Amino acid sequence: MKRILTGDRPTGKLHIGHYFGSLQTRVKLQNSGEYEPFIEIADVQALTDNFNNPEKVRKNVREVAKDYLSVGIDPEKTTIFVQSMIPEIAELTVFYSNLVTIARLERNPTVKTEIAQKKDLFGESVTYGFLGYPVSQAADITAFEGEIIPVGEDQEPLIEQCREIVRKFNSIYGEGILKEPKAELSKSARIKGLDGNDKMGKSLGNAIYLSDSDDEITKKVMSAVTDPNRIRKDDIGNPDICMVYYYHKLFSNEEACKKCHKECMAGERGCVACKKELSNNIIEFLKPIKEKRAYYDAHPEEVDRILREGTEKARKVAKETMKKVKEAMMLNYFE
């Protein structure tokens, strides 16, 4: 079975953008029975831009794990592991760092964009760790011989960089030692924020989290951006520029969406009622996810057991890869 590797940086709880963007796909791939999925909680990578806030990363490792379990990631089918507990990944990162030039890392479009977004943290001078995170990601993928890597378009350059590292490694140390991964472009769309921003995120304050309370959901939906030209209930509206209608398409059934569109365009629907209907539908949609989460909130020892067992299983795989790598690099001195 082909191995699939995915993961998240534990810098915050996961939101509905993650749900529609990647979590749904992971559950589908897991349940297809065609793959052997691994999910990495990338705490070391999270530290590259949160090195001054280790408490935040530590706390979110378990929060992200609970998000996975509550959306249907099944630890019997998917190996969930913690990156920092696999020292082989750090070792591989060091070995691979000789195979990548600084200029190549600086040219990586994903890295370039992210550095620009983190100007507040890095100023004019980015750290070696952040610039090099694609190398650490190549180590993540190859440690588990990940063959299929589901990614969004913006992450594709990272997989290309990993493929280059694999080819270079194999050409120097022996063909076929490392497996070359393939990026599988995710068909799921990126979900916009409640404010209409293309990106949903904590720092933007425009996200609904999978673990938000009903009141938080209602409050957030009430603040969503609507058609600005609509002042009174009987004003003719344009639902296609309204974030409430955008979310209705994700959370409300077809009939409700059609009714919303028609009534808005005819000036027969109030925005407050429209938002109330939407928040009720989101609350209903998230109900089973939140029920599962409540179970894991009440059983933290079970979350820890799942993470420990997943990490032990992942470590075994990484050790096998490391054995091959060290033999190929002639670093197997005392065996």
Q: How far is the CB of 19 from ligand SF4 (least distance, A)?
A: 22
Q: How far is the CB of 254 from ligand SF4 (least distance, A)?
A: 15
Closer Cβ to ligand SF4, 239 or 310, answer by number: 239
Q: How far is the CB of 325 from ligand SF4 (least distance, A)?
A: 56
- Specify the amino acid at residue 71: V
Q: How far is the CB of 280 from ligand SF4 (least distance, A)?
A: 14
DSSP reduced 3-state for 36? strand
Find how far residue 52's CA is from the centre of its chain.
Answer: 22
- Binding positions for ligand SF4, rule: CB under 6 A: 226-227, 230, 237, 239, 242, 244-245, 260, 264, 269, 271, 274-275
Residue 209 to residue 43: CA distance in whole angstroms: 20
Pinpoint the alpha helices (H) of the chain.
16-18, 24-32, 43-47, 54-71, 87-96, 102-107, 109-117, 119-122, 128-131, 133-143, 156-173, 214-222, 243-251, 254-265, 271-298, 300-328
Closer Cβ to ligand SF4, 57 or 243, answer by number: 243
Closer Cβ to ligand SF4, 67 or 227, answer by number: 227
Closer Cβ to ligand SF4, 137 or 252, answer by number: 252
Name the residue among 169, 106, 110, 183 with its Cα closest to residue 139: 169
Q: How far is the CB of 207 from ligand SF4 (least distance, A)?
A: 19
Residue 33 to residue 77: CA distance in whole angstroms: 8
Closer Cβ to ligand SF4, 171 or 229, answer by number: 229
Residue 102 to residue 253: CA distance in whole angstroms: 50
Q: Which two tokens stand for residue 132?
A: 């090099």
Q: How far is the CB of 212 from ligand SF4 (least distance, A)?
A: 20
| DSSP designation for 51 | T
Residue 271 to residue 277: CA distance in whole angstroms: 10
Q: How far is the CB of 225 from ligand SF4 (least distance, A)?
A: 9
Closer Cβ to ligand SF4, 26 or 269, answer by number: 269
DSSP reduced 3-state for 86? coil
Closer Cβ to ligand SF4, 232 or 316, answer by number: 232
